[in-house]
Structure 1
Amino acid sequence: MTTVSSTTSSTTSSTTATSTTSKSTSSTSTSATANATKTAAQALFTSLQTGSGVDLSTLVPSLIEAQFAAKTAALKAKADTLSAQISDISSIRSSITDFASALASLAQGGTLATQATSSDPSSLSVTTAAGAKLAGMSKSISINALATAQVSSTKSSFSSTASLGTGSLSIKVGSNDAVSITIDSSDSTPSALAAKINAANTGVKASVITDSGGNAYLSFTGATGKDNSFTITATEGDTAGLSRLNVGNNASGTTTNSTAANASITMDGVTVERASNTITDLIPNVSMTLSAVTSKPIALTGTSPSSALSTVVTNFVSTFNDNMNALNKAIDPINGDLRSDPAARALAQKMRTLTTTKLVPGDSSTAGPKTLADLGVKTEKDGTLSVDSVRLSKALAQYPDIVEKMFQASGDNVMGLSAQMNSVQMSATSSVYGLTASYNNLSKQQSDNSDAQSKLSDTRQTASDAMTQRFAAMNSRVSAYKSVQSFMDQQVKMWTKSN
């Protein structure tokens, strides 16, 4: 029932607005008619004073203008009003949508949530992903060992253009099945053989290191972690030499410079190992990068984004005021294009109550701010907002976790500011009760007005054609009468002269 009522109200509002505007332009239409009538009368008087009959090029347009001036002016005034209303609705609707979307993106981005902070970022750096719940977090972390990768290289160098041999190389990484790579004469130079190994994606990367004499060493590197150690076993083909690339199993042609090992850290007294120096599975939505072994524990804490929250409140108020000023202008009771539109007025009322809307759960007995007003954001008489910076700073200092919750994404806090702005956006975009309903109704009126103007133009042309025909006939008769009058005048003068 409410939906139907809202739709009906929206339709009625546009009609009311148009009616009000039509009344305000009635004096203009009357003036236009009076001016057109005066012009037509003057044209007729002038025409009848000439000696060649009626001047149709002046008289007919003047009379037609006098006949249709009122209707033309009324339709044009209505068209101008509808265009202004549609323009205002489009602008306000777009601006509110952009505002709500920007706030939602900011809330989802994670910069308004508590960030993980390391006391020794040179040894342990951290990044916080969106959605992290880190309020009150305090961890003690010691880095006992870094994850390392196995690195093996040839003991001897080779000519960069010579063949290293043909056959196959079997590469086995950890407990994975061995992968066999065929090496023929076209793949046997150091750079070509390295490329062939890399293309196989076995988990071992080969590279060529050139010494000062231009000769090449081959280096083989695996992934970090003890389970990623590897062996390379050659099977000689027609051209011997691949066995020089064997790795592991007492190979004599290569040396292992670094072994594969896990990273080891102790967090809150519990020691764990990971294959990588980037650890993402210990604290949800927090990525830790290990850079150095530590001699003392590192403090990992959650730091409230007080500065970011203070800035976003200020920016929110500024953007809100821009939107509210535009809306106030549109619904101004005297000059506003949308002054009689209930959807626009409902949107303004909803925005006016935003500062007193509860943004976090809890009743009055629960300590801490619950609304924007509690943060020092005040609604002025015209609906715009102002910020008490002292009160805002105090709230951020005393209740950082609660303030942070107010600005969480709508999925995390269905009462938060982002969710409330989504509701405001719905009032602006709904095709049932919002500005879109008004937009659709006004667009229909605009189309009807355009049709009416087109029909009036056709009617005007028809009347002009008919009037031209009538005056043309009259013009012919007037010319004949004047010819007779001229002849009679000459005869009288002749008679008078002869006497």
Structure 2
Amino acid sequence: MAGITGIGSGMNIDSVVGAMVSAEKAPKEAQLARLEKATTTKFSALGQLKGALSEFRTAMKDLNSLALFEKRTATSSNTSVLSASAEKTALAGTYQLAVQALATSSRVATAAVPSAYSAAEDGVLTVKLGAADTAGVDVEIAAGDTLEQVRDKLNTALKEKGISANIVNNPADGGTSRLVLSAKETGADKDIMISSDTLTELAVDGSVAATTLGGAGYLGSPAQDAEFTIDGLTQTSASNSVAGVIPGVTFSLLSESEPGKTLTLSVGQDAGGVTANINKFVSAYNKLIATTNELTKVTSVGDGNAPIAGGLVGDATVRALLAGVRNELVNPSDQDGVRALTDLGITTQKDGTLKVDSGKLSKALEENFDAVGTFFTGDNGLMSRVDKRVDGYIQTGGVLESRMAGLQSTITDIDKQRENLTRRVEQMQTRLYSQFNAMDSLVAQLSNTSSWLTSALENLPGVVRKDK
């Protein structure tokens, strides 16, 4: 019926019906819009609070770790010569080290043979890694095998032993080639030895040097142990990765020291890791405070304009949460050495955030490292106490999640109310059009009747018409 203007009455039915519908619809729409804005704003604010609280809780979990305070560090003053790591059992100490020689593995070459070499007869190459390797590995070679085929058979058979073979050609001396074998395992008496009853041209004694004239033997130097000194005491190791010389400490020898120079190896608590986690905790707490301040403040925007209010202005949940956390932060622990955050150089600023005095914190870690650990960790430590204050808010089904679920339900209900309003307005509009069109039809009929009566009366005998 929309769009029909009253013909009989001359009334603009569309305009009248539209005005009446708007008068019915507008107040309810405005009410729902205000409710939706307020609900959405609060829902978003609680989400921001939950996010900041989750980050704060993660930082507390990282700091509430016994492993963090049990960790030990091993620091080398010259990482190009030596690097090190320490287990939690390592005792603090400082050591002077020098590396005289690195452990090396065996690398040998067979005697020079023609590049077109082929085995003259069947034979077995027995490869051993040092004199203690009494069994060795037997590699069967067939008559006619080329040097390439011998190489491939060696690589297949010696893979598990950590020995690899390759071919080095020397075209300058008339086209000769050598098999070169390299071992992974380092240490003295780990020289590669190759023997054969028939293929003697491929035999190698890894304890003698190869010659430039093509004689078999080791290349560079024979396999040797690492040699180093700790506080003047000479030590040797078959590997460049050394464990057990200093209990709980493992270090890797990387290069030889300069003659007459030593490096310092310092073993101690992981003060750097603890400091990083304390700073992370402070940053997360400050972010929580900044978030709550933003969500609860009222900002004036000038005369005549309504102030801008945060989504949680006057919210009791925020007040209770912060009060609980702050009470634990200032509540002293019942222990010696470190009883409060101020003992670590952590103080509260005027805006409620925390500030770290790095110098005081460093000194506290140096003098009372174990006390710092017990202050933060354990069932009665600061992190556990604060976490208990936070848990009821952030856990599944907790205060924040329940409130957000309630707000989400309100938003869903607003959508349903809008649907009901639209349906009710459409029904009202249909009813009004029906009523006004009926009225318009009646007015048209009455107008026609009036015109007919006027015409009939004017035509009656004896009726005198007045000229207009």
What TM-score does the superposition give when structure 2 sets the normalisation length? 0.71
How far apart in 2 are the matches of 1:409 and 1:156?
Answer: 72
How far apart in 2 are the matches of 1:307 and 1:482?
Answer: 99
C-alpha distance after superposition, 1:360-380 (max 9, x if no partner):
x762xx23x443333333224
C-alpha distance after superposition, 1:84-131 (max 9, x if no partner):
2222222332344345546767998989976422345454x22447x7
Higher percent of residues as helix? 1
How far apart in 1 are the matches of 2:127 and 2:445?
Answer: 118
Q: 1:430 aligns with which of 395, 402, 426?
A: 395
- Structure 1, gaps ≥5 residues long: 1-46, 237-241
Percent identity over the alignment? 23
Q: For residues 48-447 of structure 1, what are the structure 2 equivalents within 5 Å?
A: 52-98=9-55, 100-101=57-58, 115-123=73-81, 125-128=82-85, 132=88, 136-141=92-97, 143=99, 145-156=101-112, 158-159=114-115, 163=118, 169-173=125-129, 175=133, 178-181=136-139, 188-190=146-148, 193-194=150-151, 196-199=153-156, 200-211=159-170, 213=172, 216-222=177-183, 223-226=185-188, 228-234=190-196, 243-248=200-205, 254-257=216-219, 258-265=221-228, 267=230, 273-281=236-244, 282-284=246-248, 286-292=250-256, 298-302=263-267, 317-332=282-297, 335-339=309-313, 342-353=316-327, 355-356=329-330, 363=335, 366-367=336-337, 369-387=338-356, 389=357, 392-397=358-363, 399-400=365-366, 402=368, 406=372, 426=391, 429-447=394-412
Cα offset for 1:424?
A: 7.2
Cα offset for 1:182?
A: 5.2
Greater CA drift, 253-262 or 133-142? 133-142
Q: Is the 8 A contact 2:344 2:364 kept in 1?
A: no
Q: What is the one-letter code of the residue matched to 1:321?
A: N
Q: What is the one-letter code of the residue matched to 1:147?
A: A
Structure 1 residues 354 and 171: alpha-carbon distance in aligned structure 2, compared to 1, 3 A threshold: farther
Cα offset for 1:306?
A: 6.9
Cα offset for 1:140?
A: 4.5
Query: Which residue in 2 is equivalent to 1:20?
Result: none
How far apart in 1 are the matches of 2:375 and 2:240?
Answer: 31
Greater CA drift, 75-84 or 221-230? 221-230
Cα offset for 1:219?
A: 1.9
Q: Is the 8 A contact 1:147 1:261 kept in 2?
A: yes
How far apart in 1 are the matches of 2:380 and 2:202?
Answer: 65
- Structure 2, gaps ≥5 residues long: 299-307
Q: What is the one-letter code of the residue matched to 1:80?
A: K
Structure 1 residues 386 and 226: alpha-carbon distance in aligned structure 2, compared to 1, 3 A threshold: same
How far apart in 2 are the matches of 1:156 and 1:144?
Answer: 34
Structure 1 residues 478 and 176: alpha-carbon distance in aligned structure 2, compared to 1, 3 A threshold: farther
Larger radius of gyration between Structure 1 and Structure 2: 2
Output the aligned Cα RMSD.
Answer: 4.8
Q: What is the one-letter code of the residue matched to 2:240?
A: N
Query: Which residue in 2 is equivalent to 1:19?
Result: none
Cα offset for 1:277?
A: 0.5
Cα offset for 1:204?
A: 0.9
C-alpha distance after superposition, 1:194-232 (max 9, x if no partner):
455445332112233344637543321221124744433
Q: Is the 8 A contact 2:206 2:218 kept in 1?
A: no
What is the DSSP-based 3-state SS (H/G/I as helix, E as strand, rest coil) of the residue aligned with 1:201? helix
How far apart in 1 are the matches of 2:374 and 2:164?
Answer: 44
Q: 1:451 aligns with which of 405, 413, 416?
A: 416
Query: Which residue in 1 is equivalent to 2:305?
Result: none
Q: Is the 8 A contact 2:52 2:291 kept in 1?
A: no
Q: What is the one-letter code of the residue matched to 1:152?
A: V
Q: What is the one-letter code of the residue matched to 1:379?
A: T
How far apart in 1 are the matches of 2:39 and 2:177?
Answer: 80
Q: What is the one-letter code of the residue matched to 1:263?
A: A
Q: What is the one-letter code of the residue matched to 2:39?
A: L
Cα offset for 1:189?
A: 3.9
| Count of residues in correspondence between the two structures | 434
Structure 1 residues 456 and 117: alpha-carbon distance in aligned structure 2, compared to 1, 3 A threshold: same
Query: Which residue in 1 is equivalent to 2:303?
Result: none
C-alpha distance after superposition, 1:293-328 (max 9, x if no partner):
675765322367778877776665455333322122
Greater CA drift, 114-123 or 180-189? 180-189
